[in-house]
Amino acid sequence: MILARVIGTVVATRKDDRLNGSKLQIVQPVSLGDMSPDGKPLVAIDAVGAGEGEIVMICAGSSARQTSRTKDTPCDAVIMAIIDSLDVGGRQVYSKSQAR
């Protein structure tokens, strides 16, 4: 899985029926160190109610359909966790409570 920051939303009226009720978020992958942007933004279905600015975990591919929110939907990327903290090499490199 990768980590990403929620940076925006997508609105689409005309879409496959199975997307009805799904929230489409734009997420920016981040570096697992200083949490800076790293890679291209993508669109993910939100299964946990994430808010803009939060660091989230993205599951991609067929496994993106394994949440109750995304089961049997045309979804190749899902937000399935909101990150509280990140430790690398015994040092905390991110804490949600201390993030701006």
Instruction: Output the CA–CA distances (angstroms, integers) from residue 61 to 11, 74, 78, in the order listed.
Output: 22, 10, 9
In the complex, least distance from residue 70 CB atom to its own copies, rounded to whole angstroms: 8
Find how far residue 69's CA is from the centre of its chain: 14
In the complex, least distance from residue 53 CB atom to its own copies, rounded to whole angstroms: 9
- Residue 43 pairs in a beta bridge with 26
In the complex, least distance from residue 98 CB atom to its own copies, rounded to whole angstroms: 13
User: What radius of gyration do the chain's Cα atoms show?
Assistant: 14
In the complex, least distance from residue 11 CB atom to its own copies, rounded to whole angstroms: 5
Q: Which positions touch its own copies (CB under 8 A)?
A: 1-3, 7-19, 24, 26, 31-33, 38-44, 47-49, 52, 57, 59-68, 70, 72-78, 80-90, 93
Instruction: Give the residue with the Cβ less far from its own copies, 84 or 99.
Output: 84
The residue with tokens 């409570």 is 97
What one-character DSSP code corresponds to residue 30?
Answer: B
